[in-house]
Homo-oligomer: A and B are copies of this chain.
Amino acid sequence: MAETSDEQRLTKTRDVSGYQINQYEQPSVTVDMLIFTVTNEGKTNYRKLPDKVLRLLLVKRKDPPFIGQWALPGGFVKMNEGLEEAAIRELKEKTNIENIYMEQLYTWGEVGRDPRTRVISCSYMSLVDSATLTVKASKHADDAKWFTVSSNLYQEQKTVTDRGMILRQLYNLTLFNDEEKLSAVIKIVKTIENKVAKVERSIIKTEGIAFDHAKVIDYGITRLRRKIEYTDIAFNLMPELFTLTELQQVYEVILDRELLKANFRRKIADMVVETNEYRKDAGHRPSKLFRFRPEWGVARD
């Protein structure tokens, strides 16, 4: 920000009349929202527990480019609106929810991202409790849908070179609901060469997902998986009262692996408080309901 060209550039930008205005053309800046929730899926048997699934909100594009494809909700950052403000506004518009967990994920600024013009997108991740989702989506309504989302590593190749190593991974990203099925293949190349580590993420194939959003979604899932292990963000996906099995299911669906009950309970013991209520009428032993214990820890980056 301390370049020689600062002054020239900024004063010209301010000059509100005449041709010179856009001498320094600016990239457009948008925010893109990854809004995750966890919901129950079909209960097959009267005594079986329902399965949980991880869901992401997408909107259908009504204009080219990528018309008819699905994109992350988002929009332009207004001139008099902070980045985070824009994200909060976007969240409110799409889900009618406020005061929810939100964190900045990553800013995507490659040149060819948007075929129309130069767009830099700052992505935010939000976690919402599906019980508080009153409306599916507000006025913009009908074009916003929840998709069951999963990302699996399906190929991995490690090469040791003379000055380092290369790890190539292929992830399969799947998004679907009753009507639609979207998918993508994301390649992640992690290299270390002369001590210098680098991670590159690229889209190999993307079907039905607009822009580079498949990459953004995959990144979001990766971050969510990492963070759920050492923070308490998972509770943002839970209702006020929940059973420990439900909590475990949320962890399992995000981490995409099974956890051992006894160990899981030990691990989260300090983060929850027992109540006197029970979930009954389930065809098996009733389970105690718990709530989040906020005084436990504290927000972490």
Residues of A at under 8 Å CB distance from B?
1-7, 9-10, 13-14, 16-17, 19, 21-22, 24-30, 32, 59-64, 71-77, 79-86, 99-101, 104, 106-111, 114, 116-122, 143, 160, 163-165, 167, 190-199, 210-211, 222-223, 226, 231-233, 235-236, 238, 292, 294-295, 298-301
Which residues of the partner chain B approach A63 to less than 8 Å between Cβ atoms? 6-7
Contact B10 A116 (CB under 8 A): yes
For the complex formed by this chain, how many copies does it contain in all? 2
- Expressed in whole angstroms, the Cα–Cα distance for A163 and B199 within the complex equals 40
Which residues of the partner chain B approach A109 to less than 8 Å between Cβ atoms? 29, 77, 82-84, 86, 122
When A163-B294, A199-B299, A236-B195 are in contact, do A77 and B120 touch as well, CB less than 8 Å?
yes
Contact A192 B298 (CB under 8 A): yes
Contact B1 A236 (CB under 8 A): no
Contact A73 B238 (CB under 8 A): no
What are 12 A-B pairs at a CB distance below 8 A? A1-B72, A2-B61, A2-B143, A6-B63, A9-B28, A83-B109, A101-B195, A104-B106, A164-B294, A195-B238, A196-B236, A199-B301
Contact A110 B82 (CB under 8 A): yes
Contact B101 A104 (CB under 8 A): no
Contact B79 A27 (CB under 8 A): yes
Partner of A76, one of B24, B75, B81, B222: B24
- Expressed in whole angstroms, the Cα–Cα distance for A110 and B77 within the complex equals 11
Which residues of the partner chain B approach A77 to less than 8 Å between Cβ atoms? 27, 109, 120
- Expressed in whole angstroms, the Cα–Cα distance for A116 and B96 within the complex equals 34
